[in-house]
Structure formats: structure tokens, C-alpha cells
Amino acid sequence: MRKSARSILLASSLALAPLAVSADTVLVTALQGAVSLEIAGATNKAPLEPFVRLREGDKLSLAAGSQLSLVYVGKARLESWQGTGTSGKPQSQVRSLPPEVTRQMNRTPTASPHGRVGMMRMRGVPPHDAVARLENDYRQMRSQTTGDDILPEVFLLAGLFDLRQYARVEEELKRIGASFAGNPTAASLQELYSKALSAARTPTADSNEK
């Protein structure tokens, strides 16, 4: 495995642009194959999981045939990487995304490198047409991507969850499971949101006191 893997270092190797001083958020939005993560300052590696947030200095090693998508929230950029084994550096493609799309995806309940699930703090009262606008943005995004690209679903689920449309999230998870059968990222989405929904519906100590 060591001979067939090549590494990328966030904000360093392969001429990746340095992260801003304020530290851009980098979200893993798709993952297939063997990719390992070495957290900045650590000496050991662990398998990378989808929907983990990365930071400057984290090192990713891609085995041959592996695929990885990273969304840079602040830069509104999607980077798609593919491991090439012993033939050279991992290959990448970069495309811009609307800033409002990357900001919404950043509200995805994300797993830590250790598998814990966290949720972003709920924003203020949303506009009355927030769901309709979200659905319109999703349809536009879906029309511009290939059928096997799961990024629009990541965007849609983040928006619905942020708007507390929990029943709708469950419906979409069933649809995604059927439409993306065999896709490991889709399976990770289902697991992630199942945990997030359970946590969101569990009364907190503060709510019990009211």
C-alpha cells in the first residue's frame, strides 16, 4: 500500500493555494477507495471518513484508484482528486461553486476524524419561502451535474436539516439510498444524518427545564 499511495498536503504540496490566515474550512464531500489522514502535528495515520472537516497541514494519502472531493468553503471551490498509484502525483480537477452553496454545505452535520457527529448552531428564523428557494437551488445545481454526482444531495440535505425539515430529510435519505445504491458516500450520508436526526430529536437538559 505504501508504494502505491501518493500524498497531498493541504495548503502545501501540489501547489495547493495556502489557506487564509483565518483558516478556511475544508469539507470532505465524497470519498471512494483507500484514503488515509494524518492530522497536522500527529505522527499516526487513520482512514479518512466522509464529511470530516480538515485543516491546514493535514496530510492525505491516496491509494491507486481512490477518489476524493474537497469543498473549500471560504474560497467557494471544489477540488476532485484521484489517486494514480506509482505513476505520479494524484490528479485533480478544480471548479468554482456559488459561495451561498458552499456556505450551506458547511452546515452539514459533520463527523470528526474520530467518528463523533457534531451539528452547526441553528440560524435565526428563516424566510417563509426558504424551502422553496432551497429546492430551486438544488434543481439548478442538479441540472448542471452528472447523475452520479452526489454533491447536490449534500447541499439539499444540509439545507433541509438546517431548516429543521426532519421528516423531509428522512424522505430524501430513502431516495438517495435507492438512487445511489452502492455509493459509499451515500451510505455515509445516511449514517451521518441518522445520528444527527436522533440527536436533534432528543430533548436537552435546557428544554426539559422549560
Domain spans of the chain?
5-205
Of the given ranges (73-82, 107-116, 122-131, 197-206), which has the lowest mean pLDDT? 107-116
What is the arithmetic mean of pLDDT over 36-64? 85
Confidence band of 202 (pLDDT split at 50, 70, 90)? confident
Q: Average per-residue pLDDT in the chain?
A: 80
What is the arithmetic mean of pLDDT over 133-142? 96
Is pLDDT above 90 for 171? Answer: yes
Of the given ranges (2-16, 65-79, 103-117), which has the lowest mean pLDDT? 2-16
What is the arithmetic mean of pLDDT over 32-59? 86
Q: State residue 63's pLDDT score.
A: 86
Q: State residue 89's pLDDT score.
A: 72
pTM (2 d.p.): 0.79
Angle between helices 151-162 and 130-143 (to 10 degrees): 180
